[in-house]
Chains A and B, each alone.
Chain A
């Protein structure tokens, strides 16, 4: 193992967890310069703290948990968990041309390291060397970093299937987060790593029940994500689908993020707003308490 002159082992470390919705219309609002319009202004206001915070935190790498929305993966292949091991990922053309955002740069050595560690820890990942990334990944970057010429850090995309039923359970996602943390902390490089969980909150995009929002469910989810994630992780799929809408199931991805942090965390920021298009926007930032 590489050692620095002082004898302290170099180590990558997860310093914070961030969760947020990844609504495509938010990306369109950014791309079309509509962020100050009355409809969108409250959404972006909720990320002002976050932008200032992350500019000071300067993460080196973001392990970004998201889902692909029939962009990189069609029905010919449906990986439950897939890690992006490439050195770059182009924004996908989702049907109206690719978003005009910078190319996302990866960290292949670190991604392969995490894959090896996590697979040996019993989570069977799919390894992806070529893929595009859609709004699920790029909208969170826009919300946290605005519109820079280049993204200010490297990103390891981690795609979770929440499109074809069944997605992985909340429990599985939570345990996976812990495995990701072990993987990160065994990498011999001093890296400031953040883990992001994206998607949600309550929403339903399809059928006669489209437009469903459940503010009580969402508030309770945010509370328990902070205070009792272990119990929250046991919530079955049906509860998400019934109470938070068919697409509310995306919230299982927030549990990957939460599983990678300490049990006891400090909530630095919490934000909630309805609506953005069809969806309840939720956002939360956690930091492990200093020991």
Chain B
């Protein structure tokens, strides 16, 4: 019997479950390699050939080269693993999150300063979230 996935319909949200973890295994393990300074240097000096050492799909490699974080998420990347890529680029979580929402960093930061993205209509249950 198939397991229920009540979280599949939350808009703008990918839950990192077993299916995603299997799809993104090598992408995420590549990210982990960037925890070591010498690997960060190797990656930065020739990204394509560094990526070619990993059993990632071409689509995944392209998403990394494009720094398309939404695409990486769709292909099984997990945000805490992907954080190794943007940290390596000297980007903060705030900057990376802004890029995923399609907002400028300033707009995103201002949204957060005024209380964040409101849950109303964003909760994915087809209803207004009432907390």
The complex places the Cα of A47 from the Cα of B48 at a distance, in Å, of: 46
- The answer to whether B80 touches A211, judged by C-beta atoms less than 8 angstroms apart, is no
Question: Which residues from B are CB-within-8-Å of A241?
Answer: 7, 10, 13, 15
- The answer to whether A280 touches B80, judged by C-beta atoms less than 8 angstroms apart, is no
Q: Please tell me which one of the listed residues B18, B37, B78, B101 contacts residue A208 in the complex, with CB atoms under 8 A apart.
A: B101
The complex places the Cα of A161 from the Cα of B108 at a distance, in Å, of: 29
The complex places the Cα of A92 from the Cα of B32 at a distance, in Å, of: 12
- The answer to whether B101 touches A211, judged by C-beta atoms less than 8 angstroms apart, is yes
- The chain A residues found within 8 Å of chain B, CB to CB, are 24-25, 28, 69-71, 74-76, 92-97, 163-166, 202, 204-217, 219-220, 237-238, 241-243, 246-247, 274-275, 277-278, 280
The complex places the Cα of A209 from the Cα of B79 at a distance, in Å, of: 13
Q: Please tell me which one of the listed residues B12, B73, B87 contacts residue A94 in the complex, with CB atoms under 8 A apart.
A: B87
**Please, could you name 23 A-B residue pairs with CB atoms under 8 Å apart, sorted by A?**
A24-B93, A70-B80, A70-B84, A75-B21, A75-B29, A93-B35, A163-B78, A205-B79, A206-B69, A210-B100, A213-B115, A213-B117, A214-B129, A215-B115, A220-B131, A238-B6, A242-B124, A246-B13, A247-B79, A275-B112, A277-B112, A278-B94, A278-B97
- The answer to whether A75 touches B94, judged by C-beta atoms less than 8 angstroms apart, is no
Q: Please tell me which one of the listed residues B6, B73, B111, B115 contacts residue A206 in the complex, with CB atoms under 8 A apart.
A: B73
**Known interface pairs A208-B102, A243-B119, A243-B129. Does A95 touch B11 (Cβ–Cβ under 8 Å)?**
no
Q: Does B125 contact A (CB under 8 A)?
A: yes
- The answer to whether B13 touches A274, judged by C-beta atoms less than 8 angstroms apart, is no
- The answer to whether A275 touches B78, judged by C-beta atoms less than 8 angstroms apart, is no
Closest to B84 in A: A95
Question: Which residues from B are CB-within-8-Å of A207?
Answer: 12-14, 70, 73, 100-101
The complex places the Cα of A243 from the Cα of B78 at a distance, in Å, of: 20
- The chain B residues found within 8 Å of chain A, CB to CB, are 6-7, 10-18, 21, 25, 28-29, 31-32, 34-37, 40, 69-70, 73, 78-81, 83-84, 87-88, 90, 92-94, 97-98, 100-102, 108, 111-113, 115-119, 122-125, 129-131
**Known interface pairs A24-B93, A246-B13, A277-B93. Does A74 touch B29 (Cβ–Cβ under 8 Å)?**
yes
Closest to A95 in B: B87
What is the distance, in angstroms, from B76's C-beta to the closest C-beta of chain A? Answer: 10
Q: Please tell me which one of the listed residues B10, B18, B87, B90 contacts residue A246 in the complex, with CB atoms under 8 A apart.
A: B10
The complex places the Cα of A246 from the Cα of B124 at a distance, in Å, of: 12
- The answer to whether B17 touches A206, judged by C-beta atoms less than 8 angstroms apart, is no
- The answer to whether A212 touches B83, judged by C-beta atoms less than 8 angstroms apart, is no
The complex places the Cα of A94 from the Cα of B108 at a distance, in Å, of: 24
- The answer to whether A70 touches B28, judged by C-beta atoms less than 8 angstroms apart, is yes
